[in-house]
Amino acid sequence: MKKIALAILATFVTVSVVFVVAYKDQFNALWISLQPTKNLPTEQQVNTNLTEEKEPDVTPIPVNETPKNFTLSEGFSMSILVGDVQNPRTLMIGPNGNVWATLTSAGKIVEVIDVNGDGKAEEVRTLTSGLRKPHGLEKKCKGKICDIFIAETERLSSYTFDAGTGKLVFKEKLTDLPAGGRHFTRSLVFFDNRLLISIGSSCDVCHEKDERHGSVQIFDLTSKKLAPYARGLRNAVFMTQHPETKKVWVTEMGRDFLGDNLPPDELNILQENGNFGWPICYGQNIHDDSFDKNTYIRNPCMAPYEISSEIDIPAHSAPLGLSFIPKEGWPEEYQGDLLVAYHGSWNRTQPTGYKIVRYNFDANGKLQGIEDFLAGFLVGKTLYGRPAGILALPNGKIFISDDKAGRIYQINYQK
């Protein structure tokens, strides 16, 4: 009897081990779902002592002068398109071919008019005002009539623009968006005749009560319904679509208060229903055990539960705008490369960022190298501005918004 009992016990143990190994992912998912959250702060338990270090005043640069403190890649020239606009962020080429910009803190959308085409605007025209922190800006045109989509902090709306009259008229509110919190910007990009909307977290690091925070949502223009698209994105401030693969890339800012070098900021490629890890994971599937004190059978940040970053960026660089360089009007060595605006750190011992960086990809999309494209926004302790939005065009022109100095720059490739 004893031998039979031992044999039965051994068989049971063997079958149990095989079963657990075969279904370890399902067991781990169940274990994660059962973990207590008593150690994890909610969106109400955020750091109330966040104070941005006071930056030096911006050093003025005359609008009619080339910024001599900037260093620019060889073969390019630079001018200040406009030098006195309040907090310009997102840039778009409007239906009339002029640069449009969201002035987020001023609550305006403006059109920058450069009559002579010399990179120095003669007029800045307000298209609409009285908005609540507008940021996202997209257009869809049919002939001279365009639908203009504007994302404010708490709503997405559509407007009608008549290229003949130059008037922008409110059409309708399309959907409500969650209230701001710490990250109040809402960015837009067209995707499959739908609009992707990035919604930052309400906190530095927390578990959100409203799951739309820290995510990218998708709005269907036909059904007028808003639905989740990707989550686990603390603050995917800007988005852009690759001109050939049509994949959507986003810049992602990591949390604060893990020191000078953690966590990395990120470049990510969106995946539908993908979870990019925040608040418990960052970078290349690294578990943030400073925030998440739970114990797991296996690393909760490993695939298939979380998607790792595509490219890590030095911590506190604060990546914002990004734009792929088109084929048309550009030398072969720049075609398909990615330009990213590093807004710059505010809580690092030695400041980092404050520049435009070029990511050099080969024809197959493999990263070949990273180099500074435009530097000099911060020289020693002298601040000249902070780059925010970036827009590379097929004609060899690049526009960059500077939300600290209130400028929009134009960069030209010298053929």
pLDDT at 66: 67
Do residues 197 and 212 make contact, with C-beta atoms less than 8 angstroms apart?
no
User: Using one digit for the tens of pLDDT, what is the confidence trace for 83-131?
Assistant: 999 999 999 999 999 999 999 999 999 999 999 989 999 999 999 999 9
Mean pLDDT, the chain cut into blocks of 10 residues (415 residues total): 52 45 38 35 35 59 73 94 95 96 98 93 97 97 93 98 93 96 96 95 96 98 97 97 96 95 97 96 95 89 87 97 95 96 92 97 95 95 94 96 95 87
pLDDT at 11: 53
The β-bridge partners of 252 are: 266
Kindly state the DSSP code that residue 221 receives in the 8-state scheme.
T
Rounded to the nearest 5°, which phi and psi values hold at 284?
-85, 65
pLDDT at 303: 76
Contacts of 353-358 with C-beta under 8 Å, sequence gap 24+, read 353/314, 353/316, 353/317, 353/318, 354/378, 354/386, 354/387, 355/387, 356/387, 356/390, 356/400, 358/73, 358/334
What tokens does 248 get? 């959507």
What tokens does 166 get? 């130059």
Q: How many residues does the chain have?
A: 415
Query: Domain map of the chain by residue range?
Result: 67-413
Type of residue found at 95: P
Closest CA to 65 of 16, 23, 13, 119: 119
Q: Break the chain down into helix, strand, coil percent, rounded to 5.
A: 10, 40, 55
User: The sheet that has 88-93: what strands, in order across it?
Assistant: 88-93, 99-103, 108-113, 123-128
Give the CATH H-level superfamily of domain 67-413.
TolB, C-terminal domain (2.120.10.30)
Measured in whole angstroms, how far is the alpha carbon of residue 55 from the centre of its chain?
23
The β-bridge partners of 312 are: 266
pLDDT at 58: 76
| pTM of the entire predicted model | 0.86
Instruction: Say how far apart CA 260 and CA 26 lie, in whole Å.
Output: 37
Type of residue found at 51: T
pLDDT at 30: 35
Radius of gyration of the chain (CA): 24
What tokens does 40 get? 């994890």
